[in-house]
Amino acid sequence: MNTRSLSFRLVAWYAGVLLSVFVLLGALTFLFLRHYLEANLLDTQARRARQIADTLVAHASRADEGALRSQIESLYSPEVNDRFIRITRADGAAVYASGPPQNGRFDPTQVPAPRGDAAGQSRKVRLADGATLMLATRAAGGADGTGYRVEVGTSADSVDNTLAQVLVMLAVGLPVAVAVAVSGGFVLVRRALEPVERITRKAEEITQHNLSERLPVVQSGDELERLSVSLNHMINRLEDAIHGSKQFVADASHELRTPLTVMRGELESLAQDAQLRRETRETLGSVLEEVERLAKIVESLFALSRLDAGEAHAEWLRFDLAELAATTAEQMSLLAEDKQVRVDCESTPGVTVEGDPARLKQVIVNLLDNAIKYTPRGGRVRLSVRRESGYAVLDVADDGIGIPAEALPHVFKRFYRVDTSRSREQGGAGLGLAIVESICTAHGAIVEVASAPGRGSRFRVRQPLAGEAAAHA
């Protein structure tokens, strides 16, 4: 569980507050109940003491204390009723003291002698053996004016038992209530944050290739709805900006093609003039070379902008990639022969794919062109096409100069060249592999590279076989 997540922090805070409130309420309830029960029991003892004082002791006299004793015994039976009753004369002489209660909860002999100032008081007395007594003391005068002190008490066990039960209930009920509230809160928070999860997933999926997609908008009228609407507006603006810059490249490359073609034609016819001086002819030749390079770059940019605009789908057919690879390799072998590089093609026919054959041919041409370009004389380039678990796999491998590991993640980027000066010498502007990747993406294919400097490179294109594209998607 992520302890920094919003849901965890919300639930932890909620659980903490709930637990503190419950503990505080539980403690207050417990203290109030204890006070109430003890006061109630003491009150009962006080009422009984007053009753004995008013009804029995008030009519007693020193000469007839025996009658008082038997009246108390017969009316109150303290032992049977688990009560403590003691009558003491004001001079301290004991008149009556009840025996041990039937329930044995306290030992009456342990109850301390009444203090002079205790009359009229009700208190909780802890005996030496640990028992607790709720004791009320009353002063009374006999019929002959003799002063007496009446003490009535009972064990505090009933209160303690009730309190213990309440404590058990709180100890069990409190954590259960907190656990139920926290799990409910967790479910609610997860549900409330679910739209955030969906927005995040969708935002992660959106790239420059699917900028027309939008984040889900939760019609909740809250901050979340505002956030998703604002983010969608931001994606609108991004889409417009990216579309604008793509359109600019498309328009610029399109506009440049015609003047470049005219320039090339003019320069070629100029170069054919037999009266030209040798230096002028050489200068013209190198200008022509540069114009051709420029024309290639403009063609590549134009091709990329058309791919960006999704035009690759216009000419889709079903065709055999192996056959296309074999004819392309044959056409390119002339170029390879010039460089004394051998091109071997191993492909078994019947690798049917769906796509634009001209574009996929461009992929093979670009990869073979690079392989031949970056392989020294006497080297070997291997092209193969095969079927592999629902995919057409096209490999172009060479034993040329290879690509350093740090450059591998960048080779498909536009205008990226590993060795700028050498690449330029060989006519590359760093757009060949970018075009390969764009065509592959448009065909639902993936292009990967593996390479080791000095040992060679292998470019692999994996494209779903015809009829398998939907399954792979």
Binding site for ligand ADP (CB under 6 A): 370-371, 374, 398, 400-403, 411, 416-419, 423, 428-434, 457
Residue 372: closest CA among 339, 421, 417? 339
- Considering the complex, what minimum distance in angstroms separates the CB of residue 345 from ligand ADP? 16
H or E stretch at 55? helix 6-55
**Closest distance to ligand ADP from the beta carbon of 383 (Å):** 12
Residue number with CB closer to ligand ADP (149 or 417): 417
Burial (CB count <10 Å: 0-12, 13-18, 19+), residue 41: buried
47-82 burial, b at 16+ Cβ within 10 Å, e below that, comes to ebbbebbeebbeebeeeebeebbebbbeebebbeeb
One-letter amino acid for residue 189 of the chain: V
Q: Angle at the Cα of 368 (from 364 to 372), degrees rounded to 5? A: 170
Tell the smallest beta-carbon distance from residue 309 to ligand ADP (Å).
21
Residue for token digits 């320039």?
263
Q: How far is the CB of 295 from ligand ADP (least distance, A)?
A: 14
Q: How far apart are CA 190 and CA 183, in angstroms?
A: 10
- Least Å distance between CB 430 and ligand ADP? 4
- Structure tokens, 234: 């931001």
Nearest residue (CB) to ligand ADP, 321 versus 429: 429
The CB-of-291 to ligand ADP minimum distance in angstroms stands at: 17
The distance of closest approach from Cβ of residue 258 to ligand ADP in the complex, given in angstroms and rounded to an integer, is 24
Dihedral sign, Cα of residue 126, residue 131, residue 134, residue 137? negative
DSSP 88-109: EETTS-EEEE----TT----GG
**Residue with Cβ nearer ligand ADP (150 or 363):** 363
Nearest to 147 by CA among 97, 191, 94, 88: 88
Amino acid at 53: A
Residue nearest to ligand ADP (CB): 428
Q: Are 368 and 332 in contact (CB under 8 A)?
A: yes
DSSP designation for 207: -
Closest distance to ligand ADP from the beta carbon of 289 (Å): 16
Residues in the chain: 473
Least distance to ligand ADP, CB of residue 242, Å: 22
Per 3-state DSSP, what percentage of the chain is helix, strand, and coil (rounded to 5)?
Answer: 60, 15, 25
Cα(55)–Cα(171) distance, integer angstroms: 46
Q: Judged by CB, which is closer to ligand ADP: 178, or 396?
A: 396
Residue closer to ligand ADP, measured from CB, 320 or 399: 399
Least gap, CB of 367 to ligand ADP (angstroms) = 7
DSSP H or E segment with residue 178: helix 157-205
**Quick one: 402 or 464, whose CB is closer to ligand ADP?**
402
The smaller minimum CB distance to ligand ADP, of residues 62 and 293, is found at 293
Considering beta carbons, is residue 329 or 433 the nearer one to ligand ADP?
433
- For ligand ADP, the closer CB: 237 or 377: 377
Q: How far apart are CA 169 and CA 104, in angstroms?
A: 28
332 or 434, CB closer to ligand ADP? 434
Whole-number Å distance between alpha carbons of 293 and 312: 25
